[in-house]
Structure 1
């Protein structure tokens, strides 16, 4: 029973969450894992676009370091879920035009309904968007609302034991990221149910923290916050601190200044050619196409890495570096209509 091709813009996750746990079938579980892969993939373009807009290349600087580590976390989450899907006999689908992320637009599957995800340079607004993407069911600093990614992963964790007998085969990628980015970041094979449940716990905790602490329990460095709280600090411009008297957390600490950035404008639906007056000239169009081709080739390389040929993940990693370099060239080109802003990468899929 192979993975079905699922439309990125459908509300399939909402539909899956409405199915009682005892009624889930093997197909529902495979669909859920494919949806989770699409969710993880959907966060990387907006986060990376913001990261690559920062002009200081020093990865040790606070805000750049924070966003870069989160991007690596999302990559490891993506890899762990791909391993879950292929281990139970599913196929990772990344290059069907129906499955690729669409921007601006909502998250795949109907998660966090009404939230429009856009591509732009780093700003307080984009950081606030990222915090909303990562928002827990019960954040320690604010009231909860909406359907969350963490709740979806919890449903997968609750259902998976029923299908543990399916963990019998399929291409597994084993790639060490933990030494540089935290103990939970190794992409490891899903050989047992414990492997699966541990991986889901890492994904949830790195994104949302725990019910007791906003810290990432699998950090690359001590004191690293879970994604939601880290992005919220950047959005609010203040560090998250705990009131010693009340025990409550709030964003009332030291200032969190934004780094210098290229002022990348919001990328329009379908790319810059659809922005009247900002249609790119030939040289800029070539840069945009180069990036889109590199992105599409990266998706093909990732799909191949989890395919039957047992290819490795290094070609995809190399393409990610090439994308960064191309994006920075794009970010240097001012928009014709409003030169206060620059072009940014479009992340459009180019079919083979």
Structure 2
């Protein structure tokens, strides 16, 4: 039987969380569940771009793999934060999966360029830069109101941990992967949120990650290197896209399929099981199903090579 979710109150927008400034414990849990949705929403588009790579003279797939791995880590870390403050990550249901194309990201962040599942081409890189843009000009507020950005959303979560100092469950289950860790203290929580922010957009005045897997540029700048086809380099005290040229790879073209039986059925079943298994990591401490992650990748790559777009939909049993 599929996991059944209890009645869940309407999810607040990023604007609503930011306006509150300091969150109640219940709102902190809601904000962390939203953070899980927000981080997950980027993964299918990035994966489809990665899987579409064919000839790859400048090892672009490795760049995409690193970004996807970090986004998966951010998603898992948001879940670990939620479990640590007594919440229950809820991902094993159809409503958790975004329906692409997205005109706004979870939390009500409008996207001028729709976020869709497409091959890695220059126009898709523009979408990815939009998602990761520092300070997030595609904001969640009307133009006449002060901006409520994703950065401000994470800052609100940090401020809540600093002010409220919620009890941290030392026995909370966590998804433990090479790039993730359990949350044992309020300081752990704050460091984790800072990491999620900086790996996506860098730090103020610098494109570099301050920590993590050996440094390197944050996601926005990695995508922009591919978009402008020039490496980002530091000349004196200034950064500029004036380094060595970057050649975009050849890619497999793909699109949605109306064939029956559904060629994405096995992919959707594997995704569903993966989400079910991940949720149990937080509920009973089961280890992550790494084999299912590799299986999803194998099936997704095969679909794309055949010109078929992986659906990233919850399997409802129909073919």
Question: If the TM-score is normalised by the length of the shorter chain, which range does it land in?
Answer: 0.7 to 0.9
Q: Which runs of 5+ in 2 are unaligned?
A: 140-147
Structure holding more strand per residue: 2
Mapped to 1, the partners of 2:6 and 2:27 lie a distance apart of 10
Runs of 4+ in 1 over 6 A off after TM superposition: none
Q: Please list the CA deviations of residues 76-122 of structure 1 after superposition, one character each: whole Å capped at 9, or x if unmatched.
A: 11121111101111010112332222211121011355452100111
Partner of 1:141: none
Structure 2 distance, partners of 1:49, 1:121, is 6
| Aligned position for 2:15 | 14
Deviates more, 1:28-37 or 1:212-221: 212-221
1:332 aligns with 2:266: no
Rounded to whole Å, the distance in 2 between the matches of 1:85 and 1:44 is: 20
1:162 aligns with 2:163: yes
Q: For 1:348, which of 310, 313, 317 is the aligned residue?
A: 313
Contact 1:164 1:192 in 2 (8 A): no
Distance in 2 separating the partners of 1:3 and 1:31: 14
Residues 120 and 26 (structure 1), Cα distance of their counterparts in 2 relative to 1, 3 Å cut: same
TM-score by length of 2: 0.86
> How far apart, CA to CA, are the structure 1 residues paired with 2:279 and 2:232?
39
CA–CA distance in structure 2, aligned partners of residues 156 and 126 of structure 1: 30
Which of 80, 94, 101 is residue 77 of structure 2 equivalent to?
A: 80
CA RMSD of aligned residues (A): 2.5
Structure 2: distance between partners of 1:69 and 1:149: 21
CA separation in 1, counterparts of 2:131 and 2:212?
A: 20
Unmatched runs of 5 consecutive residues or more in structure 1: 139-143, 178-184, 273-278, 334-341
Question: 2:225–2:241: 8 Å Cα contact kept in structure 1?
Answer: yes
Instruction: Tell me which residue corresponds to 2:190.
Output: 197
- CA distance in 2: counterparts of 1:28 and 1:11, whole angstroms: 9
2:29 aligns with 30
8 A Cα contact 1:236 1:251, kept in partner: yes
Return the offset for 1:217. Answer: 2.3
Alpha-carbon distance in 1 for matches of 2:233, 2:27: 41
Output the CA distance in 1 between the equivalents of 2:281 and 2:233.
42
Structure with more relative contact order (C-alpha pairs < 8 Å, separation 6 or more) = 2
From 200, 211, 216, the counterpart of 1:207: 200
User: Could you report, residue by residue, the CA deviation over 1:114-144 in whole angstroms, capped at 9, with x for unpaired residues?
Assistant: 4521001111111221111111118xxxxx5
